[in-house]
Structure 1
Amino acid sequence: MKRSFDNSGALYTRALNTIPLASQTFSKAAMATVEGAAPLFLERGDGARVWDVDGNEYIDYVLGLLPVVLGYRDPDVDAAIRSQLERGISFSLATDLEPELAERLVEIIPCAEMVRFGKNGSDATSAAIRLARAYTGRDRIAVAGYHGWHDWYIGTTARHLGVPQTVRDLSSKFAFNDANTLEHLLKADPQGFAAVILEPMALEAPEPGFLEAVRTLCDRYEVILVFDEIVTGFRIHLGGAQAEFGVTPDLAAFGKAMGNGMPISAIVGQREIMRHMEHIFFSGTFGGEALSLAAAIATIDKLRVAQAPKVINKLGAYLKEEIGKKILERSLTEELSVGGGDWWPAVVATGQGRSDPVTVTSLLKQELIAWGVLSGATLNLSLAHANESVVGETLIAYDRALDGLAEALRRNNPASCLRGKPLRPVFQVRNASAG
C-alpha cells in the first residue's frame, strides 16, 4: 500500500535546523526508521491508533516507548487530568495527591515501604544508585540491562562519549541469567559494590533460580539489590516482576506505564534505605507536578479494575502464536524468531538466514508500515489493542508484510528492496536496540 511521507520529510528538514537528530529521543529519531519509507512525526492518537502528519493511519505497537498502557486518550485518565487542570498544575507546596499515589504503590509493590517521585526512568534508577552509595558508603555498581542515560550507566555502553573514564570504571556489567558472572565481580571486590541493578525480565525471562541467586549474593556481600522495573511495572504484573517471580529487591524503579503517557516515575523501597532521601540530594521542581500524579492514580485504578496484566498477557500470547505460524508458513524461521514474554512479545531477526539482521528488520518494519502497523522489535501492548478489529487488522498486515519480506529475500540483494535508508541501531541491549 503506497503512502506519502512528504510532510514528514519537510518537517524533518525544518526540525534539523534547530533540534539535533530532529527528535528528543534516539528511538524516535529517523535512525530508528527506514528513513524515506516511514513517518517521522505523528499528529494524534486514539485508542490503539495514531495518525502521522501526512494523514496516514497506523495501529501503534510502539506506544511512545511503552508509557501508553490503556490506550491513547483514555477517557478516565483524561478526565482526571482535566479535573486537576482546573485546580492547578504545579504548586508551592506538596499536594494530597502525593501520599494518595504513594499509598497505592506501597499497597501493590512488594518492596515498597516508602516512595519518591521523578519524571522519567533515568530519574528513578539514578536516585536508586545514589541512595545505595549513601547507604553502603561504597562506590561500585554492577549492571545488567538498560537503565537510562545518566553517566553511571551509559558509560558501560558504546554511547559513552562525554562520560569520564573515572566514572566509567565504577560500573561493571554482568550477564543476565548467569549469577556466576555477578559472583565473580562481587568476590573480586567484596567491600567495593554499593548496588546490583538489573531488569528482572526484559526480552529474556529469568531462568529458575537466577533472581533468587542474585538476591542471595547481594545479601552475602551486603550490596543493595535494585530492580529496574521501568518496563515490567504495571505490565507483567501490577506489582512488577518482583510480584510475578516472588523475589523482593531492596529498591525498585517504576515509570513508563504508570501515568498512561504522562511524565512520571517512582523510586520505591525499604524504609530504612529510603529514609536516606532526607539526606542525599534528590530534588526537582516538577517532582510533585499534579497532572501526572492525577493521571497515575487514575491509571493504576483502571489497571486494577480491568486486570490489565492478564488481558495484555493473553493478547500477547495469541499474537505470538499467530505471527509465529505466519513466519513458519513462509519458511522464514531462519530469519525471524518470535520471543519475549507474553506481556511483551518480540519479533526479532536472528542473523542466521539469507540476509543480515539490520536488513531483515528494516524490510519487515518497512512492509508493516506500508500496511498500517507501526512497530519496533517488540509489540508494546495496551488494553486498547485487546479489540477484535485491531487484532484482525494486525494479523492481515503481518500476512502482507511477511509476504513482502519473503519476496525480498528471494533476491540476490534483499537490501535493494528497501525504499529508504536501513535502520541505524543506537546500541545493542536486551538483544534489541535501546535509547
Structure 2
Amino acid sequence: MPTEDTQELLLPRSRKANERLHAMIPGGAHTYAKGDDQYPENLAPVISHGRGAHVWDIDGNRYIEYGSGLRSVSLGHTHPRVVEAVRRELDRGSNFVRPSIVEVEAAERFLATVPTAEMVKFAKNGSDATTAAVRLARAATGRPRVALCADHPFFSVDDWFIGTTPMSAGIPAATNELTVAFPYGDLAATEELLTRYPDEIACLILEPATHTEPPPGYLAGLRELADRHGCVLIFDEMITGFRWSEAGAQGLYGVVPDLSTFGKALGNGFAVSALAGRRDLMEQGGLRHSGDRVFLLSTTHGAETHSLAAAMAVQTTYVEEGITARLHALGERLAAGVRDAAAGMGVGDHVVVQGRASNLVFATLDENRQPSQQYRTLFLRRLLAGGVLAPSFVVSSALDDADIDRTVDVVAQACAVYRKALDAADPTPWLAGRPVKPVFRRLA
C-alpha cells in the first residue's frame, strides 16, 4: 500500500475488548448490524461514551458519529430534555404491579403526535411491535399469509420474517411458506399476488418509504388494494417515524394505514416502541369486547416509566424545536458536500449518496459500477482514520455545520484513495484485511 495512504487508526484496547465480547456474547454484539464484521478488520471501535453528535472509543479516539444507535439517537447523545425527563422518573420508580399514570400521559402524547392512530400500545423493541401487528391482522381476518415488501431490509427477528432471509436456520419450512413478498412501487404485481392467494393474505406490511420516495399514488393505491381484498395495511414506521415528519410517513403523505409501528427515534436511545392503529382492530387485543381474545402485546418492561418519559420528551422536542426540518437541512448540506467531494476526486459515479435528507445512506461501487464490499471497506477505513464513524450518513440534530464540513473534508480524502484503487482496478492493497460483510448471509 502506498505510504501516503497509510495513516492508520490503532485500536489496541478495542481489539482486546472485541475478543472479550466474542468470548461471552454470540456475534460479539447484541445487534448483528453492530458486529465487528461490519467494519474493516481490526478497526471496530468499542465505545466508551457519547455526547451530542460525538462518541469516544475506549482507546481515546473521538469520532463524528452518523447513524447513531442504528438511527435511534436522532437528537444526539445525552440530550438534556430527554435526560432530565428520565432522571425525574428514576426517583419515582420504574415498574409497578399496576399501570402508572405515565402510561396514560405517554399514550395521550403519542396519539396527539400521530393523530391518524386511535389507540397505541408500547413495547421495548420494533420486532415485538411488528409481530404483534401481524398477529392482530391474522386474527382480524382469519387468514394465514403475510405479504411483506421484498425491497425492504428488515421487519422483525421473528420467524415470519427471518425465514425469508439467508439466515433462516432453525425456522420450519411450513412457517416460511406462509410469508409471501411483493415489490415496492409495483401495484400491478401486488394485485397479482393478492389474486393468486384469494382470501389468504392477512396483511400487507412495508416501510412506506426508504431510500426512494414512493411513486405518485403508490401508497394510496396500496390502501385501495388492501380495502378491496379485505387485508390489513401495516406501515412499519420504525425509521420514517419522526424523521419524515412528527406523525411519520403517514402524516407526510396523507395515507392512513390500519396499523403502524414506531420505534428507534421515539426514545432517543431509550428502549421504547409502539404499535398504533384503528380502534376496532387494536381493541381486539383488549378487554372491552365480546370476541376471541388476541394476545397482542404483554411485556414486563414495556411501560417502564423512564422510557415512556423519554418518548414524551422526544415528541415535545421534535414539535417545539422543529427537529424534522433541522434533520433535513443538515442532511441536505451533508449530501451536497459529499457529492461535490466525490465528483471533485473523480468518483462521483462510485461513491453515491442516496435517500431522504434525514436518512441518508451511501453506496460504494466498483470500476463496473456494481456494489462492492471491498470498496466499502476501503471507504470506511479512510473515514475512521479521519475521525468519522459512519456506517451510513444518517444525521442527528446534534450535528453542527463544523461537523458537516469536517466530514466532507474526510470524505474528500477517502475519495482520493478510492480513485487510486479504481485506477488500479484492485482495491485489495488498501484493505489491510478481509472485506466487511453483509449482515444477512448464510455462513458465519
Q: What's 1:397 paired with?
A: 410
Q: State the identity as a percent.
A: 37
Taking structure 2 as the reference length, the TM-score comes to 0.93
Please give the alpha-carbon distance, in whole angstroms, between the structure 1 residues aligned to 2:330 and 2:172. 45
Shift of residue 99, structure 1, vs aligned partner: 1.6
Q: Secondary structure at the match of 1:7?
A: helix
Q: What's 2:396 paired with?
A: 382
Give the counterpart of 1:358 among 373, 391, 394: 373
Extract unaligned runs of 5+ from structure 2.
1-6, 287-292
Residue 395 of structure 2 aligns with an amino acid whose one-letter code is L
8 Å CA contact 2:331, 2:394 repeated in 1: no
Please give the alpha-carbon distance, in whole angstroms, between the structure 2 residues aligned to 1:90 and 1:62. 30
Q: What's 2:204 paired with?
A: 196
Please give the alpha-carbon distance, in whole angstroms, between the structure 2 residues aligned to 1:342 and 1:336. 16
Q: What's 1:83 paired with?
A: 88
Query: Number of residue pairs matched?
Result: 425
Structure 1, 173-182 or 214-223: larger mean CA deviation: 173-182
Map 1:221-232 → 2, pairs under 5 A: 221-232=229-240
Give the counterpart of 2:285 among 277, 282, 290: 277
Q: What's 1:107 paired with?
A: 112
Please give the alpha-carbon distance, in whole angstroms, between the structure 1 residues aligned to 2:19 and 2:434. 16
Map 1:281-292 → 2, pairs under 5 A: 281=295, 282-292=297-307
Return closer, same or farther for 1:354/1:339 CA change in 2, 3 Å cut-off: closer
Give the counterpart of 1:64 among 60, 69, 89: 69
RMSD value, Cα? 1.4
Return closer, same or farther for 1:252/1:354 CA change in 2, 3 Å cut-off: closer
Return closer, same or farther for 1:113/1:421 CA change in 2, 3 Å cut-off: same
Taking structure 1 as the reference length, the TM-score comes to 0.95
8 Å CA contact 1:110, 1:242 repeated in 2: no
Shift of residue 274, structure 1, vs aligned partner: 0.3
CA offsets per residue over residues 270-302 of structure 1, 9 Å max, x none?
Answer: 000000112222211111111101111111111
Q: What's 1:248 paired with?
A: 256
CA offsets per residue over residues 120-157 of structure 1, 9 Å max, x none?
Answer: 11011001001111111111111012202111111111
Please give the alpha-carbon distance, in whole angstroms, between the structure 2 residues aligned to 1:57 and 1:421. 25
CA offsets per residue over residues 24-51 of structure 1, 9 Å max, x none?
Answer: 1111001111121342x11100000001
Q: What's 2:3 paired with?
A: none
Extract unaligned runs of 5+ from structure 1.
429-435
Please give the alpha-carbon distance, in whole angstroms, between the structure 1 residues aligned to 2:115 and 2:370. 45
Q: What's 1:433 paired with?
A: none
8 Å CA contact 1:43, 1:51 repeated in 2: yes
Shift of residue 333, structure 1, vs aligned partner: 2.7
Give the counterpart of 2:123 among 118, 123, 133: 118
Q: What's 1:408 paired with?
A: 421
1:265 paired to 2:273: yes
Please give the alpha-carbon distance, in whole angstroms, between the structure 2 residues aligned to 1:105 and 1:227. 16
Shift of residue 22, structure 1, vs aligned partner: 1.1
Please give the alpha-carbon distance, in whole angstroms, between the structure 1 residues aligned to 2:390 and 2:189. 34
8 Å CA contact 1:334, 1:352 repeated in 2: no
8 Å CA contact 1:38, 1:369 repeated in 2: no
Please give the alpha-carbon distance, in whole angstroms, between the structure 2 residues aligned to 1:127 and 1:36. 39
Return closer, same or farther for 1:27/1:250 CA change in 2, 3 Å cut-off: same
Give the counterpart of 2:171 among 143, 163, 169: 163
Shift of residue 352, structure 1, vs aligned partner: 5.6
